[in-house]
Amino acid sequence: MKKMLLVLSRMYAILLFLSQILSSIVASSLMNGSIRGGSSTAPTISECHMARGEEDSPTSTNITTTIDTPSAIHFLSDGLMRNLRKVHRYQQLAQTTREFFSNPSSSEHISLQLRDEIRSLLSDTEENSSFFQFLTQTRRQLHKFPELMYQESMTSQTISSILQELNITHTQGWGINTRSSIIPGPGGYGIVAHIGTGRPPCILLRADMDALPITENGIEHASAEQFISQHVGTMHACGHDGHSTMLLGAAMILKSIEHDIPGTIRLMFQPAEEGGAGGKRMVEEGVVTLDPPAQHAFGLHVWPTATSGSILSRPGTLLAASDRFEIQVLGKGGHAAIPHLTIDPITTSAAMVMNLQHLVSRKLSPLQSGVVSISVFNSKGGDNGAFNVIPPSVLIRGTIRALDEETLLYLKQGVEKTVRSTALMNDCTVEIEWSPDFYPPTHNNPILFETFSRSVGDLVSDDGKLQDVEPTMGAEDFGFLSRTIPSTFFLLGQGGRGEKSSNDTIEKTIQTNYGLHDPRFTLDEKNMAKGVELHVNIALRALKMLANKESQ
């Protein structure tokens, strides 16, 4: 009996030893991300540099916040990812890329050949069906789970998972919300990724990722129920799901030819564009000055009023500077039958709205552009909005727009003066709050545009020519990048091509020209390939342009 117990004791010790060894192996594999379905933590920026054998840059931002993300992408199949990574798909592009960079003054033939090789990977053929599946499934996943600014947790995890699957070095924790007392959400969901050598020259490609507080109404795809917003009252009504997807598609192609890229391509996945100044936060955190510093920045936005496949832009200011305000007009409520015993905030506020319209029509030069728009006018006569009660207060909200910061600040001063003087004249008091960060104009550097960006737009556009457009009073926080380094922002036409949607009984044209921020907004999914094509061409050709300048 004692011998048997001794044998069992020894066997237990051996099994315990083997178990410890196996646990150690599994833990090591998980740390290295080599076991699918495990979790790994994205590297910090310092670790990215160390992985390349570089020392920490003194200008690098101190971003250390990370988010655990699964290495397997639950909504994309393993077979799909294997098809996308097949080396032979990219061999011809890699060869043409080497020829393109090997000669500083590559011929027009090589330039067109590079464009055509990129385009061939994106053509709507059976051979490329995996790539279209990737774009469509990724965009629909993002569309199905939209998230508001500074709350883009699931969106960030999805993007990080795909970058991890593609073996693209990236860091998380960017775009922390420094205005949490005003704007809900912690932020920190931005992502910065790198493809290339990790050395100069360096260019930046940017995409935004947040959604809007809009209830979705009217996706026309036959399979709409599969990806309509599952977050009630929140919707990707501005195409940011498509923007992030297009940049991921470009990342996949650029990663496949990484060894032939003489420089660094920085990918900026930005949160909180819709009023939260997420771009400003990331600039403050060092997305531009990170080693190697970005020399140019490029971005795009889908544009429903232009035909799918077209590319639009202009030198100089493309999009407006903007700010927003909230006004509380405080009076003295009472019975509507005895208004002389009240201080009426309704009539005071109505006078304010009318007086504010004079700022543009009578204070600005007719040759200047400006907008003062009132979008909210709320009051309640008593608890139930009674018809015979003059309320004690009125809430007014609105926005000001201009094509330069000087005019925007002039309008802001005019709003303050008009509101306070009107309140004083009517014995009311007033409180005015402005957004913590006004948006600067999105300005396309004229030299960069005319010497480089226009020609790339011509090359990629379906009609062979970039369309010049007038500035618009829409605003974009890409402006924080464009005032930091020479940049170009493109508009990608996505309306009016007439994509067909069909089910068992119906075939109809999907309408993709509903305006931005419309609850019926529908992305032209087939047009995402054009956005990918633009990103890839911009990245490769901008690096070559910068390399040629450095060698001169």
Between CA 299 and CA 281 the distance in angstroms is 17
Residue 539 counted as domain residue:
yes
User: What's the CATH number where 256 sits?
Assistant: 3.40.630.10
Residue 66 counted as domain residue:
no
Residue 313 bridge partners (DSSP): 468
Dihedral (CA of 504, 506, 508, 513) sign:
negative
The answer to whether residues 110 and 205 belong to one domain is yes
Helix/strand/coil (H/E/C) assignment for every residue in 455-481: HHHHHHCCCCCCEECCCECCCCCCHHH
Sort 146 into a burial class: Cβ within 10 Å, 0-12 / 13-18 / 19+. buried
The answer to whether residues 399 and 478 belong to one domain is no
Q: Nearest-5° angle of CA 69, CA 533, CA 175?
A: 40
pLDDT, residue 189, reads 98
pLDDT, residue 385, reads 74
Do 429 and 330 touch, CB atoms closer than 8 A? yes
pLDDT, residue 496, reads 66
In one-letter notation, the amino acid at residue 6 is L
Residue 342 counted as domain residue:
yes
Residue 55 counted as domain residue:
no
DSSP state of 498: -
DSSP state of 88: G
- Give 67's contacts (C-beta < 8 A, 6+ positions apart): 42, 153, 156, 157, 160, 172, 173, 188, 189
Do 203 and 296 touch, CB atoms closer than 8 A? yes
490: closest CA among 454, 463, 517, 523? Answer: 454
pLDDT digits (tens, 9 = 90+) for 321-367: 999 999 999 999 999 999 999 999 999 999 999 999 999 999 999 99
The answer to whether residues 391 and 454 belong to one domain is no
Residue 312 counted as domain residue:
yes
Between CA 95 and CA 204 the distance in angstroms is 24
- Give 37's contacts (C-beta < 8 A, 6+ positions apart): 70, 71, 72
The total number of structural domains in the chain stands at 2
Do 539 and 506 touch, CB atoms closer than 8 A? no
Between CA 250 and CA 445 the distance in angstroms is 24
400: closest CA among 354, 344, 359? Answer: 359
The answer to whether residues 224 and 93 belong to one domain is yes
> Which two tokens mark 269?
């996945």
pLDDT, residue 550, reads 86
User: What's the CATH number where 415 sits?
Assistant: 3.30.70.360
Number of separate helices (H) and strands (E) present in the chain: 16, 20
Three-class secondary structure of residue 317 per DSSP: strand
| Domain termination residue (choose one: 408, 434, 460) | 434
Do 241 and 138 touch, CB atoms closer than 8 A? no
Helix/strand/coil (H/E/C) assignment for every residue in 388-400: CEECCEEEEEEEE
| Domain termination residue (choose one: 406, 434, 462) | 434
Between CA 249 and CA 136 the distance in angstroms is 10
The answer to whether residues 429 and 417 belong to one domain is yes
The answer to whether residues 310 and 342 belong to one domain is no
The answer to whether residues 264 and 403 belong to one domain is no
Residue 11 counted as domain residue:
no
Between CA 523 and CA 248 the distance in angstroms is 17
The answer to whether residues 196 and 306 belong to one domain is yes
pLDDT, residue 409, reads 97
**Residue recorded with tokens 């208004």:** 339
The answer to whether residues 416 and 446 belong to one domain is no
Between CA 459 and CA 63 the distance in angstroms is 38
Residue 64 counted as domain residue:
no
| Domain termination residue (choose one: 367, 399, 434) | 434
In one-letter notation, the amino acid at residue 453 is S
The answer to whether residues 358 and 495 belong to one domain is no
Other Cβ atoms closer than 10 A to 11: 10
The answer to whether residues 174 and 270 belong to one domain is yes
pTM of the model: 0.85
Residue 26 counted as domain residue:
no
341: domain range? 321-434
The answer to whether residues 139 and 269 belong to one domain is yes
Walk along the chain (552 residues) and give the pLDDT tens digit of each residue: 544 544 444 554 444 444 444 444 333 333 333 322 333 333 333 333 333 333 333 233 333 333 344 444 567 777 777 777 777 778 999 999 999 999 877 688 999 999 999 999 998 777 678 899 999 999 999 999 999 999 999 999 999 999 999 999 999 999 999 999 999 999 999 999 999 999 999 999 999 999 999 999 866 555 667 789 999 999 999 999 999 999 999 999 999 999 999 999 999 999 999 999 999 999 999 999 999 999 999 999 999 999 999 999 999 999 999 999 999 999 999 999 999 999 999 999 999 999 999 999 999 999 999 999 999 999 976 566 788 999 999 999 999 999 999 999 999 999 999 999 999 999 999 999 999 999 999 999 999 999 999 999 999 999 999 999 999 999 999 999 999 999 999 999 998 654 555 444 444 567 899 999 999 999 999 999 999 999 999 999 999 999 998 887
